[in-house]
Chain A
Amino acid sequence: MTKSQIELTINGKKVEALVEPRTLLIHFLREQQDLTGAHIGCDTGHCGACTVEMDDMSVKSCMTFAVQANGAEITTIEGMANPDGTLSALQEGFRMMHGLQCGYCTPGMILRAHRLLQENPTPTEDEIRNGIAGNLCRCTGYVNIVKAIQYAAAKINGTPYQEAAE
């Protein structure tokens, strides 16, 4: 089978690579690019641990071939910190609000929340919960993940963070 030449941008860096067409984007990122932040959870498209940003979409990279990302701009958790190395608002939110326990789902959660806040900078709790419906967490019960995203939204918007009524 013929290999395909692909060119894409990953976390702001131009990358050229030769891939087998059957190579999934998650394997390309983890094994050929050494970007192991995106995780393989269920490997069936349900859990969202492999979520990365691809051309202004959140995609499940275990359900996408690397060749389909030819020409795309990809962001992974490794590209989420601020340029000076400090934590982005979402990363800080997950830290401050204890939005993770084991951390396995966190890269996917943060990348998904990133796109959600790009599209809807002031989401309600309900919109956050629907927005992360494609990401499973088996530790937190989601409560602190929702708070982390609310914290990040407030920080980005320059408004005070207000904890939702229990």
Chain B
Amino acid sequence: MIPGAFDYHRPATVEDAVGLLAKLGEEANILAGGHSLIPLMKTRLASPEHLVDISGIGDLKGIAVRGEEIVIGAMTTQFELITSHDLEKHLPVIAETSRLIADPQIRYKGTFGGNVANGDPGNDMPALMMCLGATYAVTGPGGSRDIAARDFYQGAYFTSLEHGDILTEVRIPIPPADHGYAYEKLKRKVGDYATAAAAVAITMADGKCTSASIGLTNVSETPLWASAAAELLVGTNLDKASVDAAVAAAEAITEPATDMRGPSEYRTKMAGVMMRRALERAQSRAKG
């Protein structure tokens, strides 16, 4: 399969990239790792006339602790997330999630920014970013702005990004050291998107849940932040009745399509099962 012809551009700075995208117009696409875009181009579902390769922009790479936040450059690869000491120390759930994305080869090239910005409801990072309360830094023709992950996803492949915008970095508040976390993903095989998946972050004190946040992957047009479900857990000791109620509340906001991963009802139930398992594992890891 041969992609359609295009002109290739490789800017060295974010400013140059934004300028190029503005100049070239709607027929220009950003090329990051390429592992979502190139398959679309090979099947001619996408035929951009220009590709703006942002892999030469050094500012977009890297993982840093800045104050109370972890800052991850958009072009940081999944492999780099898995092998980062800063993330292992402060946000191990990111590596746990990265290991469940695609396969080893794809994780060397696939980028964090591409995963969160593409708007594919099957991608794993968006629900996790909603769960963790991340902020996306975006630069476009009008300058730079911040968008909360929880406000970013509008529909399948439809986000708050406008043409010409580049996601530059993601900022994530560092959770308390004793927080519990887990990402649970049901998939049919290595490399598959989730039938359903759940991200959970909690804190506990004296056996009671003091905060909870839950994200759900691939059970709606967008990733979901299950805030009502999480609220039902706060103040409880995560007893069965409370967890059952929270799982029911989370299942109620899902609207999965019936597809080759299963009927809609099944995928809703699997979202509940993944959430329950993630919660159990998060509780076992929470030290409060």
Contacts and interface: CB of A to CB of B under 8 A. Distances in A.
Given A22-B4, A134-B190, A44 B39 contact: yes
A105 to B, nearest CB: 13
A68 B10 CA distance: 10
B104 A64 contact: no
Contacts of A20: 5
Contacts of A48: 103, 105
Contacts of A51: 105
Interface in B102-133: 102-106, 108-109
Nearest to B103: A134
B191 interface: yes
B173 interface: no
A163 to B, nearest CB: 25
A2 B38 CA distance: 19
Contacts, number: 83
Interface stretch (A55-63, A77-85, A87-95, A148-156): A55-63
B55 interface: yes
A65 B38 contact: yes
A116 B107 CA distance: 13
A124 to B, nearest CB: 15
A134 B191 contact: yes
B162 to A, nearest CB: 25
Interface string A1-25: 1101000000000000000111010
Interface string A127-164: 00011111000000000000000000000000000000
Contacts of B31: 68
Interface size class for chain B? Answer: 20 to 34
B191 A63 contact: no
Contacts of B41: 22
B79 interface: yes
Interface size class for chain A? Answer: 20 to 34
A131 B41 CA distance: 28
Given A63-B38, A64-B38, A21 B55 contact: no
Interface string B30-69: 0100110011011000000001010100000000000000
B8 interface: yes
Contacts of A133: 103-104, 190-191
Looking at B34, B108, B191, which has the most chain A CB atoms within 10 Å of its CB? B108
Given A1-B6, A134-B191, A64 B109 contact: yes
A106 B249 CA distance: 49
B1 interface: yes
A112 interface: yes
Contacts of B191: 46, 133-134
B5 A63 contact: no
B105 A112 contact: yes
Interface string A35-54: 00000000111101001000
A65 B34 contact: yes
Given A2-B8, A63-B39, A64-B109, 11 more contacts: A21-B51, A22-B2, A22-B5, A22-B41, A45-B106, A58-B104, A59-B108, A65-B8, A65-B34, A132-B104, A134-B103
25 contacts: A2-B8, A21-B5, A21-B7, A21-B51, A22-B5, A22-B41, A24-B3, A27-B2, A44-B1, A45-B35, A46-B191, A57-B108, A57-B109, A59-B109, A60-B105, A63-B38, A63-B109, A64-B109, A65-B8, A65-B38, A67-B8, A116-B104, A132-B104, A134-B105, A134-B106
Interface of A: 1-2, 4, 20-22, 24, 27, 43-46, 48, 51, 57-60, 63-65, 67-68, 112, 116, 130-134
